[in-house]
Amino acid sequence: MQPRVPAPDLAQPRTEAEAPPPTRPPPPRPRRALARLLRPLRPQLLFSWLPLLAGAVLWVYALPRIGFRSMGDYGLLDRFPVAFYVALALLTCGFLAAPRRAGTAPWWPAGYCVALLVALKAPPAVLYDSVRYPWASKHDAVVNQLLLNGELRPNGALSGNMSAYDQWPGFFTLTGGLVRAFGVESAAVFLNWAPIALGLLMMPVLVLLYRTFTEDWRLVWTAVWIFQLANWVGQDYLAPQGFAYLLHLAVIAVVLRHFVLPGSAGRLRDRSYLDPASAAVPPPTGTRQRAVCVAVLAPLILAVNAAHQLTPVMLCVSLFALTLTRRYRNYGLLAVAALIMLAWDLTMGRPLFVETLGTLRDSLGELTENSRAGYAGELTGPGPELAGRANVLMVLAVAALAGAALLLRRRLVRGALPLLLVSVAPVPLFVVNDYGGEMLFRVYLFGLPGAAFFAAATLVPAVGDARHGLRRRAAALTLHLALPVALLALLAGFLPSYYGKEKMYYTPPAETALVTRAIDRAPDGALILATTGSFPQALHRYDRVEHWFFAEQELPENERMLADPARYLADRIPPGTDAYVILTRTQDIYAAGEGLLPPGGFSTLRSRLSVSPLFRVVEVHTYGIVLRYRPDAEGESP
């Protein structure tokens, strides 16, 4: 019997001679190391990030070369350097490559959408040394009034169309809080950045809205891209409309995802009945869940009502349109939204609400008048005329692309019918009122999210829907030819629509200082006269002085006024009132561009008031003139 050899004790440490040599990782193979270094240079990834980087570099290079201080008839269109346009083209090319990978990596298209937003709307915020849109300074004046006095006198009868701001003060309260939180002097410091901030906040809401009806990320991001190109209306500046519009879309998105009635989807839950790109109908919710959602949405709806007078109407109209479908026939939410709107209109907003009801008799059914743009509706000058034509072409292009989806993607439209109803719901408001010449723009704005989605559906064919060779070739032609052409055409239309009238939107700081000095000199209760309210600081000290923008009327009446402007104004100034006339460069550009005055009318007005004994010149400046009314000079000859 062989002696038993004991097993080695694994717990005892081995001697240096017995220990195996230490294992070292094998040296990296040259090919693998080189592959890791070159991975970002693969063609697919290269086309994803290189256009974004190149476009950003060119945009930054072009920015300081934009001659905004020497704008001519075409606004910024002929002041943008070539590098700026090349940067936009590069971003478009990069975006066209990015959505092909959107099913697995949706962040590339998201990065391009953010870059497009910044590239299109950040130049004024970065460059301008004054507030873009002179009339936006009135919002700064309202915030200053709130911070100074702690109230906006909602029941006071204020002039200069200020009653809407005082009776719907929610937005200004929030903005005042931001001024305090940021520790800045006034809202004018960040006012020009509002389009970028609101655009960034809008993007996830749009994605949530579109993902309710499609699983195709290419379609989602293309719809977001088209929305940004088609959003030339200029309602996204620091104003109650932009803020309330964001909340409106948020409410609609929540309703479309969480208010589906049980047993209402029917065949829409059958994938064979849907478009390959369609998303499944959201799961149904019970009565208790919907009641909780109503309680969650009620503060948002209240915020909409506190901020803006028109958006609650649009919200109620959209919710009513959704009740026409079996999926969203929820009368409870509609009733809550309507009751909140009526409660606000009959309490805080009662003065203006009653006044508006009194004007409905004249505007009800006047489709031609209600759908006009502005006061006169006759744009004059190369830039404004080009912008006006571009506006019309943009509306027609988006409508044509969205309408084509009704024929080409009928199964997708069937699944997204609620979004279609929300988009067309505001159109009947043309019958009711002109909203101060802005109803056309507001209807377009509220219909744009759905229109952008269906326009994208026309340009982005569904994956797997082209089984036959002919359909497959048609889908490839649409994706590789029609989509690039359409996006470049929309980009070409956006630029004149948004920047074609920029000359009337930028105001030199010296003009702002002139207006501020003139209004500061006026005593309390004085009357400030100007051709239009679209000039900087027009409503400075609006709680202490009255305003009359005497040219904001039809052109024939202004032509009669120009025959003897001194007599025309003197006859309409209340007796015993200190009155000052402020005429500035921005008023001249705006009145001419919007067709308020005939060609040369502003110069005629200024020269005749200057030599009239009824008015004395207080200050003359390169950017304007200030005159004071002399009631004691009645009867003197010039």
Kindly write down the DSSP assignment for every residue of 490-547, as one continuous string.
Answer: HHHHHHHHHHTTGGGT---HHHHHHHHHHHHHSPTT-EEEES-S-STTTTTTTTTSEE
* Residue 365: predicted pLDDT: 58
* Residue 27: predicted pLDDT: 55
* Residue 34: predicted pLDDT: 46
Closest CA to 552 of 606, 595, 510, 613: 595
User: Band of the pLDDT at 265, cuts 50, 70, 90?
Assistant: confident
* Amino acid identity at 396: L
* Residue 367: predicted pLDDT: 56
* Residue 478: predicted pLDDT: 77
The count of other CB atoms within 10 Å of the CB of residue 201 is 14
* Residue 583: predicted pLDDT: 96
Mark whether 393 and 451 lie in a shared domain.
yes
Greater confidence (281 vs 357) lies with 281
Mark whether 489 and 585 lie in a shared domain.
no
Mark whether 419 and 521 lie in a shared domain.
no
Among 217-226, 362-371, 376-385, 458-467, the range with the most confident prediction by mean pLDDT is 217-226
Percentage, residues of the chain above pLDDT 70: 84
210, 224 in Cβ contact below 8 A? yes
Domain end among 487, 504, 521: 504
* Residue 5: predicted pLDDT: 47
* Residue 263: predicted pLDDT: 78
The total number of structural domains that make up the chain: 4
pTM for the model: 0.87
Mark whether 529 and 605 lie in a shared domain.
yes
* Cα gap 231→493, rounded to integer Å: 11
What's the N-to-C CA distance of the chain in angstroms?
144
Mark whether 68 and 143 lie in a shared domain.
no
In a domain, 15, yes or no: no
* Residue 307: predicted pLDDT: 93
pLDDT surpasses 50 at 160: no
Mark whether 472 and 520 lie in a shared domain.
no
In a domain, 590, yes or no: yes
Q: Looking at 44-48, 187-191, 450-454, which range is the least confident one? A: 44-48
Mark whether 277 and 168 lie in a shared domain.
no
* Residue 543: predicted pLDDT: 82
* Residue 459: predicted pLDDT: 93
Provide the residue range defining the domain that includes 284.
115-131+190-504
Mark whether 548 and 613 lie in a shared domain.
yes
User: Band of the pLDDT at 204, cuts 50, 70, 90?
Assistant: very high
* pLDDT (mean) for 339-346: 94
Mark whether 301 and 367 lie in a shared domain.
yes
Domain end among 477, 504, 531: 504
Structure confidence by residue, pLDDT tens digits, 454-507: 999 999 987 765 556 666 777 777 777 889 999 999 999 999 999 999 998 999
pLDDT surpasses 90 at 21: no
In a domain, 518, yes or no: yes
pLDDT surpasses 50 at 37: no
In a domain, 17, yes or no: no
Mark whether 263 and 174 lie in a shared domain.
no
User: Band of the pLDDT at 13, cuts 50, 70, 90?
Assistant: very low
501, 75 in Cβ contact below 8 A? yes
Residues 6+ apart with CB under 8 A from 280: 269, 271, 274
User: Band of the pLDDT at 550, cuts 50, 70, 90?
Assistant: very high
User: Band of the pLDDT at 606, cuts 50, 70, 90?
Assistant: very high
In a domain, 23, yes or no: no
In a domain, 89, yes or no: yes
Mark whether 255 and 162 lie in a shared domain.
no
In a domain, 475, yes or no: yes
Exposed/middle/buried for 2, CB within 10 Å: 0-12, 13-18, 19+?
Answer: exposed
In a domain, 329, yes or no: yes
* Residue 158: predicted pLDDT: 47
Mark whether 110 and 221 lie in a shared domain.
no
Structure confidence by residue, pLDDT tens digits, 501-534: 999 899 999 999 999 999 999 999 999 999 998 8
